[in-house]
Each structure stands twice: as C-alpha cells, then as structure tokens.
Structure 1
Amino acid sequence: MTDTDVIHLAMQVMLVAAKLAAPALVTALVIGFAVSLFQSATQIQEFTLAFVPKAVGVAVALLLCGHWMLETIVGFTDDLFASIPQMLH
C-alpha cells in the first residue's frame, strides 16, 4: 500500500464522515440561528430556549436521514472490505 493509497483512503473516510455529520450539524446550525434571532428580537435570555429546539430538531433530522446514513456507512464499509485484497498487494 503506497502513500497515495493511504491519502486516498483517508480522504474517503473524511468525506463519508462529513456526509454523515451534515444533517445533524446543519439542522442545529439553522435552528440555533433562528433561536438567536428570536432571542435578540425579544430580549429573552433563557438558555433552555436555545437547547430544547436544537435537541428536538437534531432528533428529527436523524430520524429522517437515518436510513440514508446507514446505507452510506454500510456501502462504504462493504467497499472497504472488498478492497482489502488489493491493498495487501
């Protein structure tokens, strides 16, 4: 296995990790921004107002995207296991 193969594999791992993390992170970002705007407009500084909607939103995002996320990680793992013989030569 050459240095190029290792770098290519590392890039694939980081890309899959970014794809899997994106639904939860983007949801938390959007909800956090909306709650911050609401808090700024109303001058309500309640910490639970920022936490609870994010937690619910991320849970919903994981429920909606969970099947796709599972397919993505299983497909990547299958491809990785299938490429093991080529990596050894």
Structure 2
Amino acid sequence: MTPETVMSMTYTALKLALFMAGPLLLVTLTVGLVISIFQAATQVNEMTLAFIPKLLAAGLAVVLMGPWLISTMVDYMQGLLRGIPGLVN
C-alpha cells in the first residue's frame, strides 16, 4: 500500500464524515440561532432553553435522515471491502 493510497482513503473518509455531519450541524446551528434571537428579544437568559430544542432538533434530523446516513455509510464500507484485494500486493 503506497502513501498516496493511504492519503486518498483518508481524504475520502474525512470528506464522507463532513458530508454526513454537515446537515446535522446545520440543523442544530439554525435552531440555536433562532433560540438565541428569541432570548435576546425577550431578555430571557436561561441556558437550558437552548439545549432542549437543539437536542430535539438533532434527534428529529437523525430520524428523518437516518436511512440516507445508513445507506451512505453502507455504500462506503462496501467500496472499502471491495477494494481490499487490490491493496494486497
């Protein structure tokens, strides 16, 4: 296995991780921003007010995007497993 192969596999794994985590992070960021604007407008400074909605939004996003996340990971793993014979010299 050459260093180029290792770097290519690492790049693909990191790109996939960001691709899968990005939508979940955007959902929690958006909910956090909305809650922060609400807190600033009402001058309510309760830390738990932001935590529960972000937790619920992240859970809902995982439920809705779960099939896509699983199929993406399965496709990646199948590609890795299919490529193992080509890595052995």
TM-score between both structures, scaled by the size of structure 1: 0.95
SS of structure 2 residue aligned to 1:11: helix
Give the structure 1 partner of residue 59 of structure 2. 59
Give the distance between the partners of 2:65 and 2:21, measured in 1 at CA: 11
* Counterpart amino acid of residue 86 in structure 1: G
Matched, 1:7 2:7: yes
Give the structure 2 partner of residue 74 of structure 1. 74
**Displacement over 6 Å in runs of 4+:** none
Give me the CA root mean square deviation: 0.8
* Counterpart amino acid of residue 63 in structure 1: V
Give the structure 1 partner of residue 42 of structure 2. 42
**Residue 19 of structure 1: how far off its partner (Å):** 1.6
Given that 1:39 and 1:45 are in contact with CA atoms closer than 8 Å, whether structure 2 keeps it comes out as yes
Give the distance between the partners of 2:13 and 2:75, measured in 1 at CA: 12
Number of residue pairs aligned between Structure 1 and Structure 2: 89
TM-score between both structures, scaled by the size of structure 2: 0.95
